[in-house]
Structure 1
């Protein structure tokens, strides 16, 4: 079953709405157990929460009756309500609860070093909220008692997402997201700071300063305090038109191409540069934020920058990816699979499984390639538009095949940093790191 608590309470089985609990107290009881899914809740706490601190005479008996009704209603769907000492626990290990999904996504966002991944996780987490917690089931007092932590986590996620968006230069989206919220939460200085920064970058300095004034008035009038040092410093920088506010910080060892951040070229060969779109190869599991290829768009733009295809072809790829997101996601996943096999093949010549994977891609590229004559009279192998969204990975595979047959492969080295592992050609035999002062460890 699928249980939704972040908004009106609903239970669905295979997409169909299931009616649970004829009384509001029964739904409230189930909601409390779902919020604590897998953990026992004592009878005393349940009666206190269900009747909001004023349990009637015989509340324990009534609660037991409610539990019996819920067990009967949930049993056909494989959901059990177990008796645990002086309380109850619901087992939803094989089912989904949107609160658990929200907490999982928020946790993943907090661990991600890459702002794009942070925004994606926060977007998914915040999209689960369809209104106030258990709207129509809890009254405001119950909601404050039960949902205080979740409400705080939601606001924190909104703040963290806004800061990640500012890092990516998405100040217009921050304004759109936060405008209805800053008025509701004037005491959230972190939220206000993100909105002020976004307004300033959008050329709306007056509005940013007005927001600061309104926030300060609220803090002084309602709480008797001045804004904190972070908001005060931001206010001073806006007044002085501090250039540090104009642009988001760039990732280290990156270049901006078509609004995408790409790593500097340090490998000396397109196949190596493809492997170098990942940092932290020596880590297991992978370091969060180590992947530069966060979207198919980044992959297509990277292919253009490496001259694996021309600008017109990149435009076509981006248009098709926008129109066919599922196909784009599959092509990106395939590219990452190829990248992993290529890295293994290049760093361990004895890895025959990796070699066969790379060879399969190279053979597919050879079958798809056509020989064209350029205006300069020279012929070149190219991949036609019919290759579709696989063009970047197949183009890379052709270069990978050439490198595997090139004696220069014997000069291949991997940056020894645990946070890097980037590949480069060391024909001089003197280099140790991927490039002077540009180790991938500084970015991850």
Structure 2
């Protein structure tokens, strides 16, 4: 059975809420759910349920509440079991546990695009304050302190990466309210102020700073720290260092997105080269395909898709972000398998790993006349969001059927590894010596 605690208490599938017990009984259930299956002692339950002042009849009342909850939950496959001197919930899926898993996964990955995806999914689970309709502020601090800390840390890291990618609008839209609700979280406030300033909302950025300064003075008797004060002074001075991040090395701006220079000599090689630093440690910032819109724009830039299709795909991805994320992941998987195939031409298994992508692309390809009068293979409209993946796979198949495949070389720099065509057989380095820590 599903339970949602990150906001008002809800039980049952989304859109089909189930009424579970009275208010105090729901609070008891929520306390147990926050422990993720671990038993909670009766004395602790009584202390929390009555916020430090349990009545003499607390134990008997708890037993009554548990009995009612067991009856209410039984039809849905969830239950409350007795463990030692306490109780635990079984058969429950809880948004708080899902949030924790996503937030920790976001913190653990070095892939910036994945960090944004996981962090954004984690933060999206919050619909308001923890148990907004059941717990007061004092009890909420006791129950959800670690969850709140993890939420703010995730939001801060999420904002930092988005700002580095140039997506200040998303930071301002997604996190301004959270920063305002937690004005003493200086790192988050500083990031949101920067985003607001870049979005031409200087007055809002300064208002957020005033809110943080007053909260710090009232709560701790301190002034803003160096990071927050520096952002404040730069906003007042109109400092250009607060503007968009500097352009990455070896990049070109297309549709307001950064793409790597085309240096491989074939679209299939350029797909491989959208991950800088194949030859060394995969450092944060090395990923160029940070989101589905970048993938679609990249495919258009490589003439694998026409401009109208790219525009349609970017809009479709906005409407179906989960579907777009799946396609992006599959494209990255194709990229890794293609890279292995091209750098190990004698490896039949590496070749075979690319074949299903090529065959799937061929099954949905159509031959059309382009504006220049030449014919081109394109994914059929039925490909939908998978069009960039199929376009890249078809290009890979064409390269693997071309003798140029035998002249593909990888840059031998330990921090590069980009692929390029070398007819001479003498070159060891790509034309840019791009390393994994260049893109930001």
TM range (shorter): 0.7 to 0.9
Alpha carbons of structure 1 residues 27 and 216: separation in structure 2 relative to 1, 3 Å: closer
2:8 aligns with 8
Task: Tell me how far 1:61 sits from its aligned partner.
Answer: 3.9
Q: Does 1:257 align with 2:257?
A: no
Alpha carbons of structure 1 residues 103 and 355: separation in structure 2 relative to 1, 3 Å: same
TM score, norm. by length of structure 1: 0.81
Which residue among 288, 299, 307 is the counterpart of 1:292? 288
Output aligned runs, 1:60-139, within 5 Å: 60-92=59-91, 95-139=92-136
Distance 1:136 1:363 in 2: 54
2:378 aligns with 383
Task: Tell me how far 1:35 sits from its aligned partner.
Answer: 0.4
Which residue among 158, 167, 180 is the counterpart of 2:155? 158
Distance 1:212 1:14 in 2: 37
Contact 1:122 1:161 in 2 (8 A): yes
Is the partner of 1:120 in helix, strand or coil?
helix
Is the partner of 2:196 in helix, strand or coil?
helix
Output aligned runs, 1:17-28, within 5 Å: 17-22=17-22, 24-28=23-27
TM score, norm. by length of structure 2: 0.82
Contact 1:420 1:441 in 2 (8 A): no
Q: Does 1:425 align with 2:421?
A: yes
Output aligned runs, 1:362-377, within 5 Å: 362=358, 368-370=365-367, 372=369
Alpha carbons of structure 1 residues 100 and 330: separation in structure 2 relative to 1, 3 Å: closer
Task: Tell me how far 1:187 sits from its aligned partner.
Answer: 2.6
Which residue among 343, 347, 352 is the counterpart of 1:347? 343
Alpha carbons of structure 1 residues 32 and 253: separation in structure 2 relative to 1, 3 Å: farther
Unaligned segments of structure 1, at least 5 residues? none
Output aligned runs, 1:268-417, within 5 Å: 268-278=265-275, 291-318=287-314, 332=328, 335-349=331-345, 351-352=347-348, 354-356=350-352, 358-359=354-355, 361-362=357-358, 368-370=365-367, 372=369, 379-383=374-378, 386=381, 388-389=383-384, 390-414=386-410
Aligned residues: 438
Task: Tell me how far 1:221 sits from its aligned partner.
Answer: 5.4
Distance 1:347 1:112 in 2: 26
Is the partner of 2:11 in helix, strand or coil?
strand
Contact 1:13 1:77 in 2 (8 A): no
Alpha carbons of structure 1 residues 343 and 78: separation in structure 2 relative to 1, 3 Å: same
Contact 1:417 1:441 in 2 (8 A): no
Is the partner of 1:81 in helix, strand or coil?
strand
Distance 2:83 2:295 in 1: 52
Contact 2:103 2:118 in 1 (8 A): yes
Alpha carbons of structure 1 residues 55 and 206: separation in structure 2 relative to 1, 3 Å: closer
Alpha carbons of structure 1 residues 381 and 190: separation in structure 2 relative to 1, 3 Å: closer
Alpha carbons of structure 1 residues 246 and 348: separation in structure 2 relative to 1, 3 Å: same
Output aligned runs, 1:218-257, within 5 Å: 218-220=215-217, 223-257=220-254
Is the partner of 1:304 in helix, strand or coil?
helix
2:48 aligns with 49
- 1:26-78: per-residue Cα shift (whole Å, max 9, x none)? 32222111101122222221221122222222433443343344334334433
Distance 2:207 2:136 in 1: 35
Task: Tell me how far 1:258 sits from its aligned partner.
Answer: 1.0
Task: Tell me how far 1:328 sits from its aligned partner.
Answer: 5.1
Deviates more, 1:25-34 or 1:199-208: 199-208
Task: Tell me how far 1:100 sits from its aligned partner.
Answer: 0.8
Contact 1:433 1:439 in 2 (8 A): no
Distance 1:156 1:188 in 2: 9
Unaligned segments of structure 2, at least 5 residues? none
Alpha carbons of structure 1 residues 334 and 124: separation in structure 2 relative to 1, 3 Å: closer
Task: Tell me how far 1:228 sits from its aligned partner.
Answer: 0.7
